[in-house]
Amino acid sequence: MLNIIASINEIFVPTNFTVDYLVVAGGGGGGNFAGGGGGAGGLRCTVTATGGGGTLETALTLSPSTNYTVTVGAGGVGQDAAASPITGTNGSDSVFSTITSTGGGRGATGTTVANVGGSGGGGNGNSRALAAGTANQGFAGGNYDGAGPAYAGGGGGGAGAVGVDGNDQGLAGGAGVATSITGSSVTYGGGGGASQAAVTASGGTGGAGGGGAGGATVENVSQAAGTSGTANTGGGGGGAGSKNSSFSTGGNTAGAGGSGVVILRYSDARTITFGAGVTGTESAPSGGYKRATITAGTGNVSWA
């Protein structure tokens, strides 16, 4: 009789299972007019390393045939170059079940401050301070340090390092974080590089992990747009510059932040179902696991 009851329980009682995750939010948009780089999207992960120098997150225990919310955050808008400019924006949050990663902060401009985010936006030489990141998700942006002849923004914060202070030597975005949740090491969450204005200038490089590069500005001669962060990395957008001293007109358009991503790792005995509105793929079994990579949308996922 006991054996019969045990067999019935095995058939009808769902067996919980664990899911490792990487949840990366959308990166922040870059600033204009010697603009700061956008901060990377917040990064939370249970495999290899997580953002902000924190300890590894804990895998979730889930149940089969149960819906779990998932959202992939979009990248923020970069400051544009119009006479009535569109202000840059933070990236959007990414979500899996109870886990939320915070969108990256926008970079500062000549007239607007940087924003706090998963990683903070870079500051600007017009007394526009850098912004902080979110604990255990990302780092602060850099600031203009006043050194040398350059007028520059600070690099956007990355998931793995602070943005570089803007001067005539460097204004790069902070580096991202490498994780092997997919089975190979991939870096996510690089901060956006800042723009520099000088007689001879070079834009800051984007942080490793999808950060966009900043646009160089040669004073009174030329200007360049910032580069957008790479899609599905949460990279921050690169800052852009103006070839004149006006902060209300002219200039070029800063880079947008890269969209985020959600990657899930679970036993190869399980199969995921992507609900309406969710764009994702499931890998073949490897090393005892399957991986689901979700690149866009919002909706539900479940497992059988």
Domain chopping of the chain, boundaries: 19-288
As a whole-number percent, the residues of the chain with pLDDT over 90 amount to: 68
pLDDT of residue 290: 98
How far apart (Å, rounded) are the C-alpha atoms in residues 280 and 201? 42
21 near 48, Cβ under 8 Å?
no
How far apart (Å, rounded) are the C-alpha atoms in residues 24 and 72? 8
pLDDT of residue 287: 95
Look-up of token digits 């095995």: 10
Give pLDDT < 70 ranges for the chain.
Answer: 1-14, 82-85, 126-127, 145-150, 168-170, 198-201, 219-222, 242-251
pLDDT of residue 247: 47
192-226 pLDDT, tens digit per residue, is 999 887 656 678 999 999 999 998 777 666 677 89
pLDDT of residue 252: 76
pLDDT of residue 217: 73
pLDDT of residue 250: 52
Query: Comparing C-alpha atoms, which of 82, 79, 105 is closest to residue 92?
Result: 105
pLDDT of residue 225: 86
Residues contacting 239, CB < 8 A, separation 6+: 30, 31, 32, 34, 35, 36, 37, 38, 107, 122, 153, 192, 193, 194, 195, 203, 204, 214, 215, 226, 254, 255
